[in-house]
């Protein structure tokens, strides 16, 4: 019997309990032993809940109990999660977490402690919800140099953009709906400003380059400025707007970015809708691969956490090597990245052509008093210079 403690009895923590109960037998068979929840740490009491008697309010009870071999961190946020997880690892207890903020900030250090202790720090659920992506990168795609990793990594914003696309709604109307469905983080800023996707692409980039990528250095734009008018233009172009988190290997290192992009129908992520996430990976010998599935929500995320528990149970006193050192990786300057840009301006076609040269004008039905166009391929820096010259830019979205 492997005894575990769960930190946080919110959406994910209670989901883990549900998964362990629902698939008790098959999980035990695959783990080689039964997994039993001994404690759940939460500030609240849960009168009437079947797990009521397992609730504790003092983390020391868990940290000091030698019977606890694994800790599930499902609290979210950096503190006190970091302090508790570090304490657990130093006490010889393996940890699995769904907490991307924790992993992005302290992943390298926690991985190193787990290695020294011959135990494990796993974090499959921190990126892509229920989609297996961390384990594939760490165990299956190890013969490749990963040249690109581009994902729809935030379920909330993908749900919102899908709803804006299919129903022609404005941003504010769809945000409330996403929150009521439990997709958005408690503070939706993390989702809609791209911070959540930024931490996730920082984790994936750290894994593929084997070094620490600081999320603070990743250029990040959210979806708060996307309007129903932009969606009308996208439709006129036969494209969709998606929030992409992308990381590409260039001669100057990895270039990472989070921003809304206009995707053509040929793009592998074009059809990824609603709360689904997908991650496109290009390896130098593998070529292309895609990982698709439920990117957020209670049970999909809990499924990934429970799968980590099985993996930990199979390697109780043996560390699974994760190549992610604390040595910092400097990212390539995103301003040198090249793209085409879709632009809306209150200037006329003549001014546009004078500044940007050859462009493709987009004229959706019912839009008047402005000019929409797509530039030729240029660097971010060149675009910024030309945009400053043109003035009166209403919108700018990268085209891929
Ligand atoms: N709020 C996150 C999302 C949850 O919408 O993707 C999963 O990390």
DSSP letters along 23-80, please?
THHHHHHHHTS-EEEEEEE-SS--TT-TTGGGEES-HHHHHT-TTEEEEEE---SSTT
Maximum separation of any 2 CA atoms in the chain, in Å: 75
Residue 101, CB-side half-sphere exposure with 13 Å CA sphere: 16
Please give the span between the terminal C-alpha atoms of the chain, in angstroms, as a whole number.
51
What does the alpha-carbon distance between residue 328 and residue 334 come to, in Å, rounded to a whole number? 17
Tokens 């409330």, located at residue: 176
Looking from the CA of residue 277, the nearest atom of ligand 1 is 6
**pLDDT at site 187:** 76
Cβ–ligand 1 distance for 295 under 6 Å, the answer yes
HSE-up of residue 246 (Cα within 13 Å, Cβ side): 21
> Which among 93, 100, 105, 200 is annotated as catalytic?
200
Residues of the chain predicted below pLDDT 50: none
Phi, psi of 215 (to 5 degrees): -60, -30
Cβ-proximal residues to 352 (8 Å cutoff; 6+ apart), any chain: 343, 345, 359, 361, 371, 373, 390
Output the CA 301–ligand 1 centroid distance in Å: 9
Check residue 178 and give its pLDDT.
86
Pairing mode, strands 253-263 and 219-220: parallel
| Cα separation, 153 vs 131, whole angstroms | 10
What is residue 146's predicted lDDT score, i.e. its pLDDT? 97
CA distance 171 to 178: 11
Residue 373's pLDDT is 98
Q: Give CA–CA dist 314/316, Å, rounded.
A: 6
Gap from CA of 193 to ligand 1 centroid (Å): 12
Is 233 within 8 Å of 364 (Cβ atoms)?
A: yes
Best residue for ligand 1 mutational test, from 295, 302, 303, 305 (most atoms within 8 Å of Cβ): 295
- Cα dist. 349→254, 293, 341 in Å? 37, 43, 16
Would the CB of 196 count as within 6 Å of ligand 1? yes
| pLDDT at 367 (0 to 100) | 87
Residue among 351, 333, 331, 332 nearest 343 (CA): 351
Q: DSSP secondary-structure letter at 221? A: -
Could you say which DSSP state residue 6 is in?
Answer: E
Number of other residues whose CB lies within 10 A of the CB of residue 182: 12
The pTM (predicted TM-score) of the whole model is 0.97
CA dihedral 101, 326, 114, 13 (to 10 degrees): 10
Q: Report the distance separating Cα 23 and Cα 356, nearest Å.
A: 59
- Determine if ligand 1 sits within 6 Å of the CB of residue 155: yes
Is 93 catalytic? The answer is: no
Query: Residue 165 C-alpha to ligand 1 middle, in angstroms?
Result: 20
Tell me if 217 CB under 6 Å of ligand 1. Answer: no
Atom of ligand 1 nearest to the CA of 154: 6
Residue 233: predicted pLDDT = 97
Q: How far is the CA of 361 from the centre of ligand 1 (A)?
A: 36
296 Cβ inside 6 Å of ligand 1: yes
- Closest protein CA for atom 7 of ligand 1: 296
Three-state secondary-structure class, residue 355: helix
Omega within 30 of 0 (cis) for the link into 40? no
Around Cβ 257, how many Cβ atoms within 10 Å?
Answer: 24
* Cβ of 183 below 6 Å from ligand 1: yes
- Is 266:218 a contact under the CB 8 Å cutoff? no
Q: Give the pLDDT score at 13.
A: 98
HSE toward the beta carbon, residue 372, CA cutoff 13 A: 19
Question: Is 129's C-beta closer than 6 angstroms to any atom of ligand 1?
Answer: yes
Rounded to the nearest 5 percent, the helix, strand and coil shares of the chain are 40, 25, 35
Contacts of 225 (CB under 8 A, 6+ apart): 395
């Amino acid at each position: 019997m492997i005894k575990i403690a769960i930190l946080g009895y919110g959406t994910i923590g209670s989901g883990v309990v549900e998964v362990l109960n629902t698939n008790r037998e098959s999980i035990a068979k695959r783990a080689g032993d039964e997994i039993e929840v001994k404690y759940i740490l939460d500030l609240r009491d849960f009168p009437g809940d079947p797990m009521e008697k397992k609730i504790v309010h003092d983390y020391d009870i868990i940290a000091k109990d030698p019977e606890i071999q694994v800790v599930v961190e499902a609290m979210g946020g950096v503190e006190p999660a970091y302090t508790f997880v570090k304490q657990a690892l130093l006490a010889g207890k393996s940890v699995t977490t769904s907490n991307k903020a924790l992993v992005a900030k302290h992943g390298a250090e926690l991985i190193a402690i787990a290695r020294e202790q011959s135990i494990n720090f796993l974090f499959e659920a921190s990126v892509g919800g229920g989609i297996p992506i961390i384990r594939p990168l760490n165990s299956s795609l190890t013969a490749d140099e990963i040249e690109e990793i581009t994902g729809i990594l935030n379920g909330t914003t993908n749900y919102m953009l899908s709803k804006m696309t299919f129903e022609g709604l404005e941003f504010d109307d769809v945000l409330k709906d996403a929150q009521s469905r439990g997709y958005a983080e408690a503070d939706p800023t993390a989702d809609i400003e791209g911070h959540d996707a930024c931490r996730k692409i920082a984790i994936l980039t750290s894994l593929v380059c084997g070094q620490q990528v600081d999320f603070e250095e990743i250029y990040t734009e959210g979806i708060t400025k996307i309007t129903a008018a932009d969606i009308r233009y996208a439709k006129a172009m036969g494209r969709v707007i998606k929030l992409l988190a992308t990381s590409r290997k260039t001669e100057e290192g990895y270039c990472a970015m989070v921003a809304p992009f206009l995707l053509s129908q040929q793009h592998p992520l074009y059809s990824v809708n609603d709360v689904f996430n997908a991650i496109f990976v290009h390896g130098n010998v593998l070529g292309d691969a895609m990982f698709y599935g439920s990117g957020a929500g209670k049970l999909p995320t809990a499924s990934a956490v429970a799968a980590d528990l099985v993996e930990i149970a199979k390697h109780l006193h043996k560390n699974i090597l994760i190549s992610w050192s604390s040595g910092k990786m400097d990212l390539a300057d995103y301003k040198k990245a090249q793209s085409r840009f879709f632009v809306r301006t209150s200037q006329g076609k003549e001014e546009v052509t004078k500044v940007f040269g050859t462009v493709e004008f987009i004229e959706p039905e019912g839009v008047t008093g402005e000019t929409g166009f797509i530039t030729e391929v240029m660097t971010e820096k060149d675009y910024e210079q030309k945009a400053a010259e043109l003035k009166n830019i209403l919108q700018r979205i990268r085209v891929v």
